[in-house]
């Protein structure tokens, strides 16, 4: 079997066109969606991420502002900035890029963002709302994965879904969203015994670990939908996922490439969450 490609770049373009249209209608009524992005320090990867987020906002017709703070910014100064942004009417979404420098308590910062402006969906109230089946904001990467799964047309009801990785930003919220869609969900972590046996049962396999090519074709159920969240940089500078694309695509029914799969969907869902934040204020 040769898997069909789940093209995240194409789906992201489609969704961003719809988002831009909705943003233009809101702007015409005086409610331009606004996102504030806060970056502390000079981490090179974080700089690329925030630049991409701000540029996606501009392309979608959102107002966006970028707050670049030096690495030695105090926690108190950062909390003060977040509080100011919480009170700004033209800012509907606030994103503080993680990781923060070690002297800043990132939990405290995230809890200071007003839950209704927490477009990353990391605030403890938003995690709780998601857990109890009444999500306000779905964390962007798992939300994007759900959109990709929707695109396959495959029903999740009763499907065996296996999520590899249990982080607060990807694995855990992903498991919740799959569960709420009617899938039977298994979550694996670094202590899981016999990972391959779990993978082989999966109709839907979502891999979010951060280890290059760890899932190979022999670990995949024929016809499964394989979603590769991982982004790894190889010594030669190339990007690869957590799934060995060549062997996996011989067995899977659907597969996301890296790059061009989940990545473009993550920023798209950030725009979608910001749009939803505006719509809730009207």
Applying CB under 6 A, the residues found at the interface with ligand NAP are 141, 164-167, 169-171, 188-192, 195, 208-210, 229-232, 262-263, 266
Nearest residue (CB) to ligand NAP, 19 versus 170: 170
Select 73 or 266, whichever has its Cβ closest to ligand NAP: 266
Give least dist CB 253 to ligand NAP, A. 21
The catalytically annotated residue of 7, 29, 47, 53 is 53
Q: Which is nearer to ligand NAP, 90 or 189 (CB)?
A: 189
CB of 228 to ligand NAP, least distance (A): 8
Burial zone of 214 (CB within 10 Å; 0-12 exposed, 13-18 middle, 19+ buried): middle
Catalytic residue among 4, 7, 108, 120: 120
Note if 97 is an active site residue: yes
Nearest approach, Cβ of residue 83 and ligand NAP (Å): 27
- Given 7, 29, 59, 97, which residue is catalytic? 97
Q: Smaller CB distance to ligand NAP: residue 81 or 127?
A: 127
Q: Is 53 one of the catalytic residues?
A: yes
Task: State the nearest-atom distance from the C-beta of 99 to ligand NAP, in Å.
Answer: 10
Report the catalytic residues.
53, 97, 120
């Amino acid at each position: 079997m040769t898997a069909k490609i789940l093209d995240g770049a194409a789906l992201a373009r489609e969704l961003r066109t719809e988002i831009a249209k909705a943003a233009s209608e809101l702007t015409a009524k005086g409610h331009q969606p606004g996102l504030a992005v806060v970056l502390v320090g000079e981490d090179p990867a974080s700089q690329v991420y925030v630049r991409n987020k701000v540029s996606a906002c501009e392309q979608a017709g959102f107002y966006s502002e970028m707050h670049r703070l030096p690495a030695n910014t105090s926690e108190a100064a950062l909390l003060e900035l977040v509080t100011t942004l919480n009170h700004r009417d033209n800012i509907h979404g606030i994103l503080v890029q993680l990781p923060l420098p070690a002297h800043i308590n990132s939990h405290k910062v995230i809890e200071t963002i007003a839950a209704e402006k927490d477009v990353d969906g990391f605030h403890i109230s938003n995690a709780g709302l998601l857990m109890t089946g009444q999500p306000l904001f779905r964390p962007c990467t798992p939300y994007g994965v759900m959109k990709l799964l929707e695109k396959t047309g495959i029903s999740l009801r009763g499907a065996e879904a296996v999520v590899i990785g249990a982080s607060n930003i990807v694995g855990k919220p992903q498991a919740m969203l799959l569960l709420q869609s009617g899938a039977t969900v298994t979550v694996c972590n670094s202590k899981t015994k016999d990972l391959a046996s779990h993978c082989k049962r999966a109709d839907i396999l979502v891999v979010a670990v951060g280890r290059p090519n760890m899932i190979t074709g022999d670990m995949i159920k024929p016809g499964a939908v394989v979603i590769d969240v991982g982004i790894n940089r190889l010594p030669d500078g190339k990007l690869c996922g957590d799934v060995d694309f060549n062997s996996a695509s011989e067995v899977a029914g659907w597969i996301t490439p890296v790059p061009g799969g989940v990545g473009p969907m993550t920023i798209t869902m950030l725009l979608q969450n910001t749009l939803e934040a505006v719509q809730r204020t009207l």
